[in-house]
Amino acid sequence: MSEKVYIFDTLLRDGEQGENVSFALPDKIAIAQKLDEFGIDYIEGGWPGSNPKAVAFFREMKNITLRYSRLVAFGSTRRRDTSPADDKNIQALLEAETPTIAIFGKSWDLHVKEALKVSLEENLRMVTDSVSYLKDKGKELIFDAEHFFDGYKENRQYAMQVLEHAVQAGADVLSLCDTNGGSLPHEIEAIVHEVCQRYPDTTVGIHAHNDSGLGIANSLMAVKAGARHVQGTINGFGERTGNADLCAIIPGLNLKMGYTAIEPERLQLLTPLSRFIYEQCNLLPDEKQPYVGSSAFAHKGGIHVSAVQKNPRTYEHIEPTHIGNERRILISELAGRSNFIAKASTFKVAELKSDEEVKKVLTQVKNLENKGYHFEVAEASLEILVKKVLGDHQDFFSLDGFRVYISKHINKETWTEASVKLSVNNVYEHTAGEGNGPVDALNVALRKAVEKFYPSLKSVKLIDYKVRVLDVYEGTGATVRVLITSTDGEHQWTTMGVSPDIIEASYRALVDSIEYKLFLEEKNNEGGK
């Protein structure tokens, strides 16, 4: 049995301090439940003495049973010249009724003197009083030694004194914080090793920030040096450049260092968890994110693809399914035969019968990419293209034409209407729709026309729309590439259109989006037969 490393997620507090990250109360509850499902050991729910939403969160969580995780309330040591019993923030921690409490205390003399403006001796008393008081209340106590590494490097004796007072008062965990994120891995390793040697009977932890791009590395080096408690956030969300990313730390510990950070059978939930958190933040996932990003196991060069098909270890450091991700083969003008055959194998299209068919599809792909298409970011459009070239495509509807009207009167809002003429199985349909702009109006009209024939399209919604100018020197006459990301609640796909006319490019992407949904439905029906 591998040695356990305890994982502490601070997304709901430290993570929410990141720019563009904010959670409503239902979001926080849903995230806590998802983290529990994944198997995170500690979920820090926030600072109950800081704002009403945090208070409401802990109140609501009293009615929710966590199967695996321990909920943590976060706060600070008592205020100067105040007893813990009279300190409102300390009392708010107890009122949260969590089994575990984390409090931070200053361990850098610079902060004690200039931020707290108390004597070094008073700060030590604040640590002792707060830890001992909460321990007497029967709580598991995690002491976050704030700015510990900076404090250690400037005044080692005092930083270690702070830890000594926390341990003597009964702290269960000493979490050493690289709060400014400026320490280097070799510094972390040496300092953590010393602390672990000094306090062999107390769990030592690491809380790293990513200001130097080393949050993950510093966390792993701390474990190597003896730490068995790691704090961070899913996706690395946090103030400034973020906290250490647990999406890389957890598989690093489990798959590369031989520890158990998460039970192995739960590790495959990591990528879905990452994407769930992005969705709750209303942010697009980072494609380049290690382990869980959509590009983490994407292969484009023909030589790479050929090698991966023979043995994935040639260009993949782990098996992507271990963490719930998947291998992707990209098709572009750089692609060779190996890329296409590997990619086509993931499509339910007509079986490839000859090299001539492969060549035919690759020629079409390369010609379109020369015009501005970029299939590696719009795989739904690529799949439709392959089906068309191989004669395996079904026309779900036939377009006769569309018009878009834009009207603007002085001192009045712009008014936009689109009309669409099409037929489905020789049944003619002519519809119109209004929208916030020409693309929105066109989407409304198109959907209105086809939904009566294909009711399943009502579940589809557009969640992202991007426009890229391809030849900027042409000014307003430039060709544009439109990318549309759609979802039906179960699947998500991206389609593309390219044209000098942004309306035409948008229309092509919209049509591909609709056809891909119908294609998915067709495949599901075939699978059920």
| Cβ atoms within 10 Å, residue 403 | 13
- Domain assignment present for 113: yes
- Domain assignment present for 397: no
- Domain assignment present for 69: yes
Q: Which is nearest to 42 in space by CA: 323, 231, 238? A: 231
Q: For the chain, what percent of residues have pLDDT higher than 70? A: 89
Q: Which domain holds residue 49?
A: 6-262
- Domain assignment present for 27: yes
- Domain assignment present for 464: no
Q: How far apart are CA 387 and CA 479, in angstroms?
A: 26
| Cβ atoms within 10 Å, residue 374 | 18
Domain count along the chain: 1
Question: Mean per-residue pLDDT for 240-263?
Answer: 96
pLDDT digits (tens, 9 = 90+) for 414-447: 888 999 898 888 888 899 988 888 888 888 898 8
* DSSP string covering 18-39: STT----HHHHHHHHHHHHHHT
Q: How far apart are CA 58 and CA 418, in angstroms?
A: 50
The answer, yes or no, to whether residue 248 has pLDDT greater than 80, is yes
Q: Which is nearest to 8 in space by CA: 163, 306, 147, 207? A: 207
Q: Of the ranges 87-96, 100-109, 202-211, 427-436, which one carries the lowest mean pLDDT score? A: 427-436
- Domain assignment present for 11: yes
pLDDT at 178: 97
Residue 38: exposed, middle, or buried by beta-carbon count in 10 A (0-12, 13-18, 19+)? buried
Dihedrals φ, ψ of 135, to 5°? -65, -35
Residue in this structure with the two tokens 């291998």, named with its chain if needed: 327
CA angle 128, 134, 138 (to 5 degrees): 135
- Domain assignment present for 428: no
Residues 6 or more apart in contact with residue 211 via CB below 8 angstroms: 180, 181, 182, 240, 241
- Domain assignment present for 467: no
Supply the CATH number for residue 71's domain: 3.20.20.70
CA dihedral sign, ordered 108, 111, 116, 117: positive
The answer, yes or no, to whether residue 486 has pLDDT greater than 60, is yes
Q: Which is nearest to 179 in space by CA: 212, 203, 202, 201? A: 212
pLDDT digits (tens, 9 = 90+) for 457-485: 888 888 888 887 876 566 666 788 888 88
